[in-house]
Amino acid sequence: MSRTRNVFLVGPMGAGKTTIGRRLAPALGLTFYDSDEVIISRTGVDIATIFDIEGEAGFRDRESRVLDELSALDGVVIATGGGAILREENRERLRTRGQVIYLTVPLDLQLRRTRRDNQRPLLQTANPRERLAALQREREPLYRAIADIVIDTGANDSKRLARDLIKRLSATREPVQPQGR
Ligand SMILES: Nc1ncnc2c1ncn2[C@@H]1O[C@H](COP(=O)(O)OP(=O)(O)OP(=O)(O)O)[C@@H](O)[C@H]1O
Ligand SMILES: O=C(O)C1=C[C@@H](O)[C@@H](O)[C@H](O)C1
Ligand SMILES: [Mg+2]
């Protein structure tokens, strides 16, 4: 499949994929989806409950199905889950079906952004800082491998980040050439 107008946001928990995606989509005239939220609305339970009942593998199967379905659409912004890049099939679909933006975040800030939330099952541990660092060590090369744009979310608010991204996305579009006469 050729690359489309689609934009896919990848990156770790708390990087701001959901927050930025929500801003980006209307500004680009695209439709926003959040894969975690689609899974929650389809199952009627939260992600922690899916992990409890079906295990992480069951959640990852659901995530792959939802990403395959949504990324096959044209004209969407998708905020993916932090672990969506773990499976090769997901990486391949994201890489070939749109532009991939990797949102990075410094560890201290990531910890602050995720601290109040008890919905992230992988952070229900005695040492969330160490867990976040370990996940990032494993996943960083996978995020980078498929990213067209990498942007640090540490310095700016989400409004400004969305504005910067819109500029960078339009700079990577192919210009339309006038026909020669
Ligand atoms: N650029 C930013 N500046 C300030 N706060 C931010 C920024 N981006 C996100 N936040 C805040 O950080 C928290 C986490 O953001 P968000 O839920 O968008 O992350 P996520 O990448 O979607 O995480 P997950 O992978 O767990 O879904 C939210 O409370 C959000 O308001
Ligand atoms: O980093 C992860 O593996 C996850 C991130 C969230 O977006 C959810 O998809 C879920 O909590 C797992
Ligand atoms: Mg999110």
pLDDT single digits (tens) 74-131? 999 999 999 999 999 999 999 999 999 999 999 999 999 998 777 789 999 999 999 9
Task: State how far the Cα of 85 lies from the Cα of 11, in Å rounded to an integer.
Answer: 9
CA of 82 to the centre of ligand 2 (A): 5
What residues are designated binding site for Mg(2+)? 18
Residue spans per domain, the chain: 7-168
What residues are designated binding site? 14-19, 36, 60, 82, 120, 139
Query: Quick one: which of 41, 31, 23, 40 has its CA closest to 5?
Result: 31
Write the DSSP assignment of the chain as a string of letters. Answer: ----S-EEEE-STTS-HHHHHHHHHHHHT-EEEEHHHHHHHHHSS-HHHHHHHHHHHHHHHHHHHHHHHHHTSSSEEEE--TTGGGSHHHHHHHHHHSEEEEEE--HHHHHHHHHT----GGG-SS-HHHHHHHHHHHHHHHHHHH-SEEEE-SSS-HHHHHHHHHHHHHHHSPPPPPPP-
- pLDDT at residue 174 in the model: 59
Task: State how far the Cα of 103 lies from the Cα of 154, in Å rounded to an integer.
Answer: 9
Ligand (nearest to CA of 34): 3
Per residue in 128-157, pLDDT (tens digit) is: 999 999 999 999 999 999 999 999 999 889
CA of 153 to the centre of ligand 1 (A): 9
| Residue keyed to tokens 């910067």 | 164
CA of 104 to the centre of ligand 3 (A): 13
- pLDDT at residue 116 in the model: 79
CATH superfamily of 7-168: P-loop containing nucleotide triphosphate hydrolases (3.40.50.300)
Confirm whether the ipTM is greater than 0.95. yes
Task: State how far the Cα of 172 lies from the Cα of 20, in Å rounded to an integer.
Answer: 19
pTM: 0.94
Report which protein residue has its CA nearest ligand 2's atom 5: 82
Per residue in 158-176, pLDDT (tens digit) is: 999 999 999 999 776 655 6
Query: Quick one: which of 79, 85, 104 has its CA closest to 25?
Result: 79
Residues with CB under 6 A from ligand 2: 13, 36, 47, 81-83, 120-122
